[in-house]
Amino acid sequence: MYSRLAEDRDHLPALLETASAYAASVFEGLDSAPVAVPPTVLAPSTLSVTGIGTERALQLFKNSIAPSLPASAGPRYLGFVVGGATPAAVIGDWLATVFDQNAVSRLDGSTALQVERDTVTMLQGLFGLPDGFSGSFVSGATMSNFVGLAVAREWAGREHGVRVSDQGIAAMPRIAILAATPHSSSTKALSMLGLGRRMWQEVACLPGREAMDMSALERRLAENEGPCVVIASAGTVNTGDFDDFRELARLKETHGFWLHIDAAFGGFASLSPAHQPLIEGWGCADSICVDLHKWLNVPYDSAVVFTRHRDLQIDVFSNVSAYLGRPSEDPEPIHLVPEISHRWRALPAWFSLTAYGADGYREIVERDCLLARMLGERIQQSELLDLLAPVRLNIVCFAPRNPGMSDRLIAAVRDSGSTLVTPTVLHGTAAIRAAFSSWRTTESDLDIVWEALVKAAEELP
């Protein structure tokens, strides 16, 4: 055995203690650590001939890389809908690495697949989805939308008498895809699936909203011939807006389209009695995307895709080979998602769901939503900032009175290290969005965020 490996093997308990102590110190400092850091150019890492061993590698990381990392796991990182990992999820993630299960096969007798199935069942119960759904772990919302829309493509092909999974996309006519404000990950999925990033048809939104005008959708559906896929939103990026799922269910009964819902973070509205009406009716969907490294607060990367059509999912993703076997009545993940190698993503989610239960996650969601509403109320009362949309869930969309100064305000609060908010455009106007999704965020953090925003706005020209 190579000497460096042998040395690390013999000293592994001590190395783990050192790393654990360092990780604990990082967690303890998250509340006060800079949320954003100045751009840093690191000296390029180079491959040494002999290696330096784990202890020195850890020291090199602490000294040269860690200082340039933002505190994205902290309580005031309000960009991109990022949740920090809960304590239980951190433990689960570390143990997933220790046991290093490729959770795709029963051939070795591993119970990792049982844990994954149980975790999907817990998530289905958490979100209140009907029994007709089945779920699969994937890497994030992009892959979740990809899987859901891949199964939709297979369904549309069957409507034309074509097995796309066998015959290819060239064997079938063009699919009608309707959406109002699809997330970029959905349009990226359309590109990867050969359906075309720009080939979806835009449905008008309700006035001043990011939600579909159902009358406009109904007209489009009536004009369409052949199978149709509708991509709906449960929580848009800019304003956290929701399509009307009860009305979509009614239209679905008449027009028989495939309904794919991007509920990357908005699906968590189902946990809160006050916000559950936003999601009411979503059980009519054919496929649903939910991102877990957002509001479930598990580490990157983790998401789940739910579908009512597991038979079609198997046709698309089955991986038939002599050494891996064929799909059974209870198919393994290799027959349900793109990856053959499959990290045990379910374990951090299992730990966190088991540790905190439905009530724990309900409290996180309701607290984040309350803080978002409080920020929205402060903006409404301010003479420096304008609230651009109602706070429906956890997204606050706003701008300085002169929206042309939005980028300067974002840069000023970022450079202060107090918080991070991100730019967007709403109805053609430059805007700023703040997304509350961390289990750590409290009212005292909101006060710090508000002070940074006011100070930056006061200093604008």
Q: Tell me, what CATH number does 107's domain have?
A: 3.40.640.10
Listed residues 295, 314, 343: the one ending a domain? 343
Would you place residue 461 in the very low, low, confident or very high pLDDT band (cuts 50, 70, 90)?
Answer: confident
pLDDT at 104: 77
Do 109 and 256 have their domain in common?
yes
Listed residues 313, 343, 373: the one ending a domain? 343
Do 384 and 287 have their domain in common?
no
Of 397, 380, 405, 404, which Cα lies nearest the Cα of 458? Answer: 405
Tens-digit pLDDT profile for residues 314-345: 999 998 887 777 777 788 899 999 998 889 99
Do 68 and 202 have their domain in common?
no
Has residue 185 got a pLDDT over 90?
yes
Do 182 and 61 have their domain in common?
no
Percent of the chain with pLDDT over 90: 91
Asked whether residue 57 is domain-assigned, the answer is yes
pLDDT at 326: 72
Asked whether residue 349 is domain-assigned, the answer is no
Asked whether residue 49 is domain-assigned, the answer is yes
Q: What is the CATH number of the domain that holds 42?
A: 3.90.1150.170
Would you place residue 106 in the very low, low, confident or very high pLDDT band (cuts 50, 70, 90)?
Answer: confident
Mean pLDDT for 430-444 is 97
Listed residues 317, 343, 369: the one ending a domain? 343
Mean pLDDT for 26-50 is 91
Do 265 and 404 have their domain in common?
no
- Domain count of the fold of the chain: 2
Do 42 and 190 have their domain in common?
no
Asked whether residue 155 is domain-assigned, the answer is yes
Asked whether residue 455 is domain-assigned, the answer is yes
Has residue 105 got a pLDDT over 80?
no
Do 81 and 123 have their domain in common?
no
Asked whether residue 92 is domain-assigned, the answer is no
Do 161 and 305 have their domain in common?
yes
Instruction: Indicate the pTM of the whole model.
Output: 0.96
Do 222 and 124 have their domain in common?
yes
Do 332 and 425 have their domain in common?
no
Would you place residue 203 in the very low, low, confident or very high pLDDT band (cuts 50, 70, 90)?
Answer: very high
Which range of residues forms the domain containing residue 231?
A: 101-343
Asked whether residue 110 is domain-assigned, the answer is yes
pLDDT at 108: 79
Do 187 and 271 have their domain in common?
yes
Token pair 């119960």 is at which residue? 125
In the numeric block, which tokens belong to residue 288?
């649903």
In three-state form (DSSP H/G/I as H, E/B as E, the rest C), the secondary structure along the chain is CCHHHHHHHHCHHHHHHHHHHHHHHHHHCCCCCCCCCCCCCCCCCCCCCCCCHHHHHHHHHHHHHHHHCCCCCCCCECCCCCCCCCHHHHHHHHHHHHHCCCCCCCCCCCCHHHHHHHHHHHHHHHHCCCCCCEEEEECCHHHHHHHHHHHHHHHHHHHCCCCHHHHCHHHCCCCEEEECCCCHHHHHHHHHCCCCCCCCEECCECCCCCCECHHHHHHHHHHCCCCEEEEEEECCCCCCCECCHHHHHHHHHHHCCEEEEECCCHHHHHHCCCCHHHHCCHHHCCEEEEEHHHHCCCCCCCEEEEECCHHHHHHHHCCCECCCECCCCCCCHHHCCCCCCCCCCHHHHHHHHHHHHHHHHHHHHHHHHHHHHHHHHHHHHCCCEEECCCCCCCEEEEEECCHHHHHHHHHHHHHHCCCECEEEEECCEEEEEEECCCCCCCHHHHHHHHHHHHHHHHCCC
Mean pLDDT for 369-376 is 98
Mean pLDDT for 62-76 is 95
Bridge partners of residue 234, in order along the sequence: 242
Asked whether residue 10 is domain-assigned, the answer is no
Do 314 and 456 have their domain in common?
no
